Structure 1
Amino acid sequence: MNHLRSLREFIDELDTIGEIQRVDTEVDWRLEIGAIIRRGYDLTAPAPLFTNITGYTDTRFRVLGAPGGLGGPGRRLARVALALGLPPTASGQDIVEAIVAARSKPGIPPVAVASEGAPCKQNIVRGDDIDLLAFPTPLIHGNDGGRYIQTYGMNIAKTPDGSWTNWSINRMMIAGRDTLACLIPGPQHLGIIRAQWGKIGKPMPIALALGVEPGLPYVGAMPLPENADESHFLGALFGEGLEVVPAETVDLMVPATSEIVIEGHIAFEDEAMEGPMNEYPGYIAVDASPKPLFRVSAVTYRDDAILPVVAAGPPVEEDHTGTGTMHAAEILYQLREAGLPVASTWFSYESALHWLIVSVRRDWRETLNIQSRELAQRIGDIIFAGKAGFGVPKVLLVEDDIDITNVDEVVWAFATRTHPEHGEVHFPAEPTAALSVYLDEQEQHSYRAGKVIHNCLLAELHPEGQRPVKGSFANGWPAEIQQRVLNNWNSYGYE
């Protein structure tokens, strides 16, 4: 595994393969940066690195857009793969298998290094000198309630007894020079820890690390069990601990190579208006509401700091590549731990994480000696019971002749293999995320709604040797004809 230890190392690696677009033209933080990032997602263009920002032309601060977006031809998953230590040409299944392999290893805790000389300590600001507006935080979407400085950083908090440190990504909007309004849903781990501080009547210490090493946002999206430390999982993935230093004003350790670290406390009763902001289902948000208020006590940052920014919305952006990849890996780990013959799992990025595709080995029936409906029931019972499946409303169950990372094959399998009358297995009133636009008000507030598995399995419908075979280029022509066509492709006039 190639462990990139800073955002700057990551940018350099992306630059070598053509996945960075330096934007030296002056751009406005008011909406223009966000619109460029959004357009880049739509075109799978290189990640924009903005170096000349209106109102900040006398600084050397920069903004990196789309740090985990999809890339161009031949490097579609390059940003995800490089962040997780793999070659830029790694496939989706390569990436998921690497994560699952790390999940089976013991965690490696962070390594404390000297604060003196640590990149994130090059500049230290406290008290009345704090001004969050000193950073070129963009107003991303035209409907946003404010400037969101936290779209791709790490929220770091630990329980009052110090037994559990959580690393997560939750959006945070600048509310004032030294305050942030934060989305912290109660069921999420950060919300659970905040509630523990509330029970003892003390504000929760918190650090927000922005521009961290590229693997951390993915690890922060990994749905590990309660009381598991995501930084230890990063250590397991790379075989070495994350380098950390003490924060200045709170009892927390922060990544030493962070571009920006914001420290402070969140009191349980302290609130400010937050939102709206677009989210992963892909629709324009319209509602604002009171949210927890983060009071900042110190800010540290690197010289010429770089702020990573995600423009959340329709697929495909980092909500989909980050959360989707890591949740699929955790679900695959859980299904295999249960002894099921699962070949792979994958969230369709294009479905805004509403489709989880599970492929089972084609010999599943001989292996388990059960009907497909029972297999679907077993798979659903595991997926929907855990944190990783909390946001999964729809599962497509296929055999491993389908490339589940190829949306065209997935659509074809779903359309042709699921019986319209009895091809579904339903799971009523399961715990669910509240952001899907089809949910009614009661479902949104209760975090419970029905879920479904679409059974696209063929094995029990057709005897061995008589199962339908995909009439593809690879299956439909003799090997020598295939090779002749491949060898002569350019001579036919194609590029």
Structure 2
Amino acid sequence: MARIKDLRTYLDALDALGDLRTVDRLVDPDLEVGAIIRRSYETVAPAPLFTNIKDSAPGFRLLGAPGALSSAPGRPLARIALSLGLDSTASAREIVDALAEARTREPLQPVLVDSAPCKQNILLGEDASLARFPTPLLHEGDGGPYVNTWGTIVARTPDGSFTNWSIARIMMVDDTHMTGLVMHPQHIAQVWQQWADRGEPMPFALVQGGEPALPFISGMPLPDGVEEAGYLGALLGEPLELVQCETVDLQVPASAEIVIEGHLSVERTGVEGPMGEFAGYCPSETSMQPVYTIEAITHRDDPIWPTVVEGEPVDEYHTATGLTLAAEALTALRAANLPVTSAWEPFDGASHVLVVSVAADWRDKLPGLSTGDFAQRITDVIAAQRFEYVVPRIFVLDDDVDASDTGELMWALATRVHPTGRRIVREGKMLPLLSGYTPEERHAGRGPKVTYDALLPSDEEGRDPRSSFRFTFPQEVQQRVLEHWND
């Protein structure tokens, strides 16, 4: 599959699949847009493209559900696969494998170009205002309109040694100011902290509507020191093209629809939130966060602004974060020489569950090791990763189960997880946005985590065969049944 280099080409690909729906009627950015996008997730409808948004400039457009599940028959992961340069028919395991395999390649560093379509309109000074752009109030109870839900924040350390591309929610304060989550241990917080320690505001660029792979990789929990730009080049097989910002010393993807430039304050003076979240609940708490001051905006003619409305699964938090975290987990487990075949964060688990699938011959490769010892080794590897704080539950399963098949996974967990035993409990840092914890644990950012050893016994220990069409009947019988099925 050829790489899709910009959002407009991506929309053409979705349209060809029947997975794009243009909404030309006038829509209100105050909750109506959010409600349409939210319902599109819950009915697995085509991605809505809004062309007539109240109080926005003529020609300005808004795209909902850009990386959610696809409505194309037989291609549920088409939006994800196309975004990452794969065929629209790619399976969950193929997508995770592609992401993990790219981590073993040398990064391909981006190249700088002189001009780009995102420079067609350059707004400076008083003209650099959000007033003409679609800034929707996404959920009832949100602290304000959210400017960023699917865009990439570009930031660089003061010494220039590390450039980070990340996603974090950003709320509109007024036409020239925003505030958003800057949470440790995320890389954006590490970069911001270095600037704050110097007493200097952090230069930033916020990219909206770049090539479709960009948000997925910006949300990937890459290790310290690994830059998203080089990894994305390795994944796609060619370097990205960047263009220089107008007012800050940063470079941004030339494929962008909109680029917002400015500085992030040293102090945490902005009241951020609340916002409907990926766990599927609408919290009521706010937090104090740094403030973004907008100093320039550049954009294409008739720009498109992608928007995500987080909530109950499945939306982009679950697809993007789940897939990329699973790939990073698989990379780490393979690097530890453990016989692991795949990893998966079930979308319906709201990014609260990691399933690790192990090879059928793992006992041959790790002779004398019990299932509990194997589960402990897997736990130790995951616990050493930067993303460990967002993994409250790990299930270790034999890979006869397709963990991306929700029905099959539920059956396996119900029948292979012991009610009280075979579990490894540990204590550690955790993301306060995770659900299921007490208020005290969330405020402290620490709580218990668990690994479930759901591995089956060996044949010698009395392992029962599966009772299903695929596992019970001889291949020749299965084939004969399938050949005559339509008869």
Alignment of 1:179-258 (within 5 A): 179-258=177-256
Listed as ranges, the matches of 1:98-109 within 5 Å are 98-109=98-109
Whether contact under 8 Å (2:203, 2:264) holds in the other structure is yes
Report if aligned partners of 1:331, 1:389 keep a CA contact under 8 Å in 2: no
Once superposed, what is the RMSD of the aligned Cα atoms? 1.4
When structure 1 is superposed on structure 2, of 467-476 and 352-361 the one drifting more is 467-476
Give the residue type in structure 2 aligned to 1:246: Q
User: Counterparts of 1:444-459 in structure 2 under 5 Å?
Assistant: 444-459=442-457
Q: Deviations over 1:284-311 (max 9, x none)?
A: 1212232210001100001000000000
1:373 aligns with 2:377: no
3-state SS of the aligned residue for 2:179?
A: strand
Overall identity of the aligned pairs, in %: 47
| Rounded Cα–Cα distance in structure 2 between residues aligned with 1:470 and 1:69 | 33
Deviation at 1:482, TM superposition (A): 2.7
CA contact (8 A) 2:81 2:87 kept: yes
TM-score (norm 2): 0.97
Match among 274, 280, 287 for residue 282 of structure 1: 280
Q: Provide the secondary structure at the position in 2 that maps to 1:167.
A: strand
Number of the residue aligned with 1:36: 36
Contact 1:203 1:265 in 2 (8 A): yes
Paired residue type of 2:144: G
Given that 1:365 and 1:459 are in contact with CA atoms closer than 8 Å, whether structure 2 keeps it comes out as: no
> Partner residue of 2:412?
413
Match of 1:294 among 270, 288, 292: 292
The corresponding residue for 1:24 is: 24
How far the C-alpha of 1:423 sits from its partner, in A, is 2.3
Residue of structure 2 aligned with 1:468, choices 449, 458, 464? 464
Query: Is residue 108 of structure 2 the alignment partner of residue 112 of structure 1?
Result: no
Alpha-carbon displacement from aligned partner over 1:184-231 (angstroms, at most 9, x marks no partner) = 113211001101001111110000000111111111111111122111
Q: Is the contact made by 1:137 and 1:307 (CA closer than 8 Å) also made in structure 2?
A: no
1:63 is aligned to 2:62: yes
* Structure 2 CA distance for aligned equivalents of residues 310 and 453 of structure 1: 31
CA distance in 2 between partners of 1:459 and 1:243 (Å): 52
Residue 31 of structure 1 aligns with an amino acid whose one-letter code is L
Aligned to 1:269, the other structure's residue is in SS state coil
Report the Cα offset of residue 343 of structure 1: 0.8
Q: Which residue of the partner structure matches residue 97 of structure 1?
A: 97
The answer to whether the aligner puts 1:354 opposite 2:352 as a matched pair is yes
One-letter amino acid of the counterpart of residue 404, structure 1:
A
- Check conservation: 2:129, 2:294, Cα contact below 8 A: no
SS in 1 for 2:267: strand
1:383-462 paired onto structure 2 within 5 Å: 383-427=382-426, 429-460=427-458, 462=459
Runs of 4+ in 1 over 6 A off after TM superposition: none
Question: Which residue identity is paired with 1:199?
Answer: D
Q: Paired residue for 2:475?
A: 479
> 2:486 maps to which residue?
490
Greater mean alpha carbon deviation, residues 320-329 or residues 128-137: 128-137
Shift of 1:355: 1.2
CA-CA distance at 1:481 after TM superposition: 3.7
Asked whether the equivalents of residues 328 and 346 of structure 1 are also in contact (C-alpha less than 8 Å), the reply is yes
Match of 1:332, SS? helix
Task: List per-residue Cα deviations over 1:29-71 (Å, max 9, x = no partner).
Answer: 1111111111111111111111112233x60011110001101
Asked whether the equivalents of residues 182 and 292 of structure 1 are also in contact (C-alpha less than 8 Å), the reply is yes
Secondary structure of the corresponding residue to residue 266 of structure 2 = strand
**Larger displacement relative to structure 2 (195-204 or 21-30):** 21-30
1:79 and 2:103 matched: no
Distance across 1 between alignment mates of 2:279 and 2:337: 32
Cα offset, 1:174, TM superposition: 1.0
Which segment drifts farther, 319-328 or 22-31? 22-31
The offset of 1:480, in angstroms, is: 4.0
CA distance in 2, matches of 1:164, 1:175: 29
What is the alpha-carbon distance in structure 1 between the residues aligned to residue 268 and residue 357 of structure 2? 46
CA distance in 2, matches of 1:271, 1:227: 29
Matched pairs, number? 485
Q: Is the 8 A contact 2:67 2:319 kept in 1?
A: yes
TM-score using structure 1 length = 0.95
SS of 2:171's partner is strand
Residues of 1 paired with 2:288 and 2:423: CA distance? Answer: 40
Query: What is the alpha-carbon distance in structure 1 between the residues aligned to residue 475 and residue 185 of structure 2?
Result: 54
| 2:55–2:132 CA contact under 8 A, matched in 1 | no
How far apart, CA to CA, are the structure 1 residues paired with 2:127 and 2:356?
A: 52
Unaligned runs of 5+ in 2: none
Task: Provide the secondary structure at the position in 2 that maps to 1:300.
Answer: strand
Supply the distance in 2 between the matched residues of 1:401 and 1:74 (Cα, whole angstroms).
Answer: 22
Hey, what's the Cα distance between the residues in 2 that align with 1:315 and 1:449?
A: 24
Gaps of 5+ in 1: none
Matched-pair contact (CA < 8 Å) for 1:402–1:410: yes
